[in-house]
Amino acid sequence: MVKNLVVFDFDWSFVDQDTDRWVFEVLSTELRRTLQDRKSAGSQCMPDVVDQTMEDLFQAGFKKEQVLDALRILPVHPAMKRAVTSLKAKGETTFLCLSNSNQVYIATILEKHGLSNLFDQVITNPSHWDGDRLHIGRRLPADGPQHTCTIGCLPNMCKGDELDAWLAAHGGKDSFTKILYVGDGGNDFCPLLRMRQGDVACVRKNMELQARIEKEGEKVGCKVDVELWDQAWIIDEIFSKL
């Protein structure tokens, strides 16, 4: 039986938004600006910065249900939903999520769209509620063992290491006929280097991942086939051929 593994980044890959920014954009322009000013160079926010700004949101009087409601109105494109549900229904594909978002954000969005059972596992940053305050932590805590990635992954998570560990726990690469990775950001580059010739990277056009592949891919031995996309219907088209 053909057995595929589809690995999704979440922000700007599964959904057409950055979840860390979305909550503040919905609830407070002032705090959205605060997040922008605090975040480090590059397109990704460290969870520490998001957590700090969530404290500001709490101090400003925003409640748990307001945060959850903001997440519930974040759309999943109908074509993306069709792409994943149609492929999952065939029974030959395992879905994995590797994301720099957090557990509460992703679980809330998936539940709202009836997709809670899509992913076999969601590997992301931990988060939990303490009353109306959402706490967001690091996948790799700052005071614990750190990854040794030299490819440029964020300190809180090496997606390449995470993919390797997941594969090792599920029979290895050879258990899957094909691995597809859907991503957009610079931290999605590392897992592509753990994939084989014939595997596929579905790379969002004009984003950081495309730039890294074009600049560094050949030099560091990136072997995957690259499919560029910029709209969800193209993912649906790619998945329909599996």
**Which of the residues are catalytic?**
9, 11
| Residue located via tokens 């706490």 | 135
- Residues in contact with 211: Cβ distance below 8 Å, sequence separation at least 6, in sequence order: none
Q: Known binder of ligand: residue 11?
A: yes
- Closest by CA position to 185, among listed 7, 18, 43, 49: 43
Does 188 show up as a binding residue in the annotation?
no
Rg (CA), the chain: 18
Encoded tokens for 9: 């980044």
What's the Cα-to-Cα distance from 196 to each of 60, 70, 113, 225, rounded to whole Å?
49, 39, 32, 9
Closest Cα partner for 98 from 70, 69, 120?
120
Annotated binding site: 9, 11, 184
Annotated binding site for Mg(2+): 9, 11, 184
